[in-house]
Structure 1
Amino acid sequence: MSEGTMQLRAQRDQRDQREKRLTRVLVGAAAVPVMLVAAGCSSDSGSGDGKDKAAEESAAATSASPSPTVREAAFGKLPEPCAAVTKKTRDDLVPKAGSGKEGSSNDTAVRASCSWDSLDDNGVKGSQFRWLSVSMLRFESDVTRGEGDKLARDHYQKQLKDAQAAEGAKDLKTTPVSGTGDEASVVRYDLKKKEGTFKQQTVVARVENVVVTLDYNGAGLAGDKTPDADDLAKDAQKAAKEAVAAVRKANAPAQGGTSSGSPSAPTSPSDAASQSATAPPAKSG
């Protein structure tokens, strides 16, 4: 073989080796995008599955969470307001006042009131004036506002503050009252008017989810003597106790085990115990 031939062959071999190396590089380069695409697909799929799974778990947790609940109120109705105080007591506190004047209300199962007034005219010796009013407000349990008895406690405090803030009140006193509902107080003060000095007694009582506010005042007019405030306070507390008992009676289970109030809101055991211990039975007026 001549030297020229050997040189040509060597050059051809070198060219063949370069072409083989180039082919391997191109094949390897072409494989890289395929691997990246495959890896990308795998990554996207995993990310989507994770989001979907998280969303499903969140939805499942939401559906499994119980709806907000609140304990039902004990009392579902109010008594007839003009019969909340017994006839005997009415005759003592407001003589010859009659059956009373019932206040207007859109729903007497929630809000009810009645008032009486009397004037005992003694001619030239003057006259005695008496005024009695009883109002009742019942609170339902509500998921957003809270339990009925808590709402009633808040209103009880508000009624006390309103009574204590009476314009022109003199010699104001506030005293707790026992044996009347779950909590009760009497606010006493004098109110001087041109007709005479009025002795005001306001008893605010709460029994479960009902607030009872009883107002009683008296005055000696045209020169008659001013009534004794202590006597008026005792009478007001007696009437308030009867009104509280009337609320309990209106919601007590009737014969046969059915409730005269809301079927789903029976009197609680604690209320029943306090009723038997503190409250006298209500009489029909």
Structure 2
Amino acid sequence: MHRSTTRIPRALAAAAVPVILVTAGCSSGDDGGDSGKPSSAAPSAESSEPQIEPAKFAKLPDPCGALAKDSIKDLVPGAKSTAGKAGKSADTSQRSSCSWDGLDGYQWRWLDVSYQRYDSDPAVGSGADRAAEYYGKQVKGAEAVEGAKGMKTSAPSGLGQKAAGFTYETTEDKQDYRKQTVVSLQENVVVTVNYHGAGFQGSDQPKSADLLKDAEKATKEALAAVK
């Protein structure tokens, strides 16, 4: 009797399985019911993606053509070429730079203009936010230049959405240099201008205040080229 009792529940369980499957299969075909319709509250894949602001600028200007030739002649007297020397870049639509240097008598000048642009990306943020983050890093880097003496900071107006200026001096191989850096932010683009000057062979050193004004002038022109 014990064996027959054990077999009955097993048989009933086996018989119950098809019934459950059939019932589940029929539930989706219930006429007139809403259970088979997709819920309007269910979020779609598209709506679940974060919405970010598109980047304003989709390209960068040619850095070597960002400043007028007359500006180069004024900022870098005795420049070897107003065409400048382009910096290396794996993608000039994202990052580019150009530099000029010249010696007029014993007065030496060096100018470097660099651009950094960011696209908007749902995974990392808007182009404007990414550029703002890079701007902050550039500012911190300018504040912490190794060997800088007499560091002075400023907040130039009229240069993009915001800008920071840095004036300092360095001594290299017993030669004094006056150096300026201006970092500016415009939407999803950061412009960094470095402008250095020196008087060789005992000639007068350029005034830092004058160099800073020239660096700001170059920055304004470089920003205007971003379109």
Structure 1 residues 55 and 223, CA gap change in structure 2 (3 angstroms): farther
The letter for the 2-side match of 1:96 is G
TM-score normalized by the length of structure 2: 0.81
* 1:117-136 aligned within 5 A: 117-121=101-105, 127-136=106-115
SS at match of 2:44: helix
The letter for the 1-side match of 2:54 is E
Runs of 4+ aligned residues of structure 1 deviating over 3 Å after TM superposition are 53-60, 62-65
Unmatched runs of 5 consecutive residues or more in structure 1: 1-33, 122-126, 252-285
Corresponding residue for residue 100 of structure 1: 84
Structure 1 residues 148 and 55, CA gap change in structure 2 (3 angstroms): farther
The letter for the 2-side match of 1:218 is G
Q: Which has the larger helix fraction?
A: 1
Unmatched runs of 5 consecutive residues or more in structure 2: 1-11, 29-33
Distance (whole Å) between structure 1 residues aligned to residue 190 and residue 129 of structure 2: 11
Corresponding residue for residue 145 of structure 1: 124
Show CA shifts across 1:118-174 (max 9, x none).
1123xxxxx111100000011000001111011111101100111111100011111
What is the CA-CA distance between 1:226 and the residue it aligns to?
1.0
Structure 1 residues 110 and 64, CA gap change in structure 2 (3 angstroms): closer
Distance (whole Å) between structure 1 residues aligned to residue 167 and residue 212 of structure 2: 8
TM-score normalized by the length of structure 1: 0.65
Structure 1 residues 56 and 96, CA gap change in structure 2 (3 angstroms): farther
* 1:1-285 aligned within 5 A: 45=23, 61-63=42-44, 66-68=47-49, 69-97=51-79, 98=81, 99-121=83-105, 127-247=106-226, 251=227
The percentage of aligned residue pairs carrying the same residue is: 46
Distance (whole Å) between structure 2 residues aligned to residue 231 and residue 70 of structure 1: 42
SS at match of 1:130: strand
Structure 1 residues 67 and 228, CA gap change in structure 2 (3 angstroms): same
- 8 Å CA contact 1:195–1:221 kept in 2: the answer is no
Q: Which has the larger strand fraction?
A: 2
Count of paired positions: 206
Distance (whole Å) between structure 2 residues aligned to residue 213 and residue 164 of structure 1: 13
What is the CA-CA distance between 1:208 and the residue it aligns to?
0.8
What is the CA-CA distance between 1:77 and the residue it aligns to?
0.8
